[in-house]
Structure 1
């Protein structure tokens, strides 16, 4: 069965880039959100197998988004995407329940490797 992914990033081009990579590798994108609030709502609606979550976003950042999604689903698979120089925030995201992180700008292989590791492929 195809694994379903929710992509969360405030930058439309970044969502498109991640979507292109994951679709090319056989995953289904079941939703896109531009902030943590939208991510929580979509998570409830589509129940994805995995979420890619940007850290720095308006309205609700990725760390808070991770915490809120984990309240809904303690077993949620979340990979955090962050820009260089956000190590402290990445650490906080992992402590909040994210299962891996990818540093932007990322290599296509790295994001697939993270997804496969988290989903146990």
Structure 2
């Protein structure tokens, strides 16, 4: 069973995503509320996949993506963003993100993105 790390500064978003992920049959290895926590938890748990919010305090999702890719060049990261962050999404893809999901989350799109990312 694939393990995921969910990263979002909004507790409600983490809770929503966690439910969708577990309903789809995946395990949540950890939850981070900022980029620095995500990097630390990635280092500790080595999850199969990370969902990463872009806009967060302390360290944003793009910086965290770069640090995680530095730890593990094979890391699989899906960026999550609100509408209107297209330039940041392009930046994230260029820096190694596999996919991106637009908020508000759609459970089918989440499942599809996870399956696609894990099959790479």
Q: Which residue of the partner structure matches residue 99 of structure 2?
A: 100
| Secondary structure, aligned partner of 2:105 | coil
| Secondary structure, aligned partner of 1:116 | helix
Asked if 1:7 corresponds to 2:3, the answer is no
Where do residues 43-54 of structure 1 align in structure 2 (5 Å cutoff)?
A: 43-54=42-53
Normalization by structure 1: what TM-score? 0.97
For 2:84 and 2:105, how far apart are their aligned partners in 1? Answer: 14
| Secondary structure, aligned partner of 1:57 | coil
| Deviation per residue, 1:9-66 (Å, 9 max, x gap) | 0000000000000101110001000011000000011110000000000000000010
1:94 CA drift (Å):
0.5
What residue ranges of structure 1 are gaps of 5+ in the alignment?
none
For 2:53 and 2:34, how far apart are their aligned partners in 1? Answer: 8
Over the aligned positions, Cα root-mean-square deviation in angstroms equals 0.9
1:106 CA drift (Å):
2.2
Normalization by structure 2: what TM-score? 0.98
Asked if 1:65 corresponds to 2:64, the answer is yes
* Aligned residue pair count: 120
Where do residues 78-93 of structure 1 align in structure 2 (5 Å cutoff)?
A: 78-93=77-92
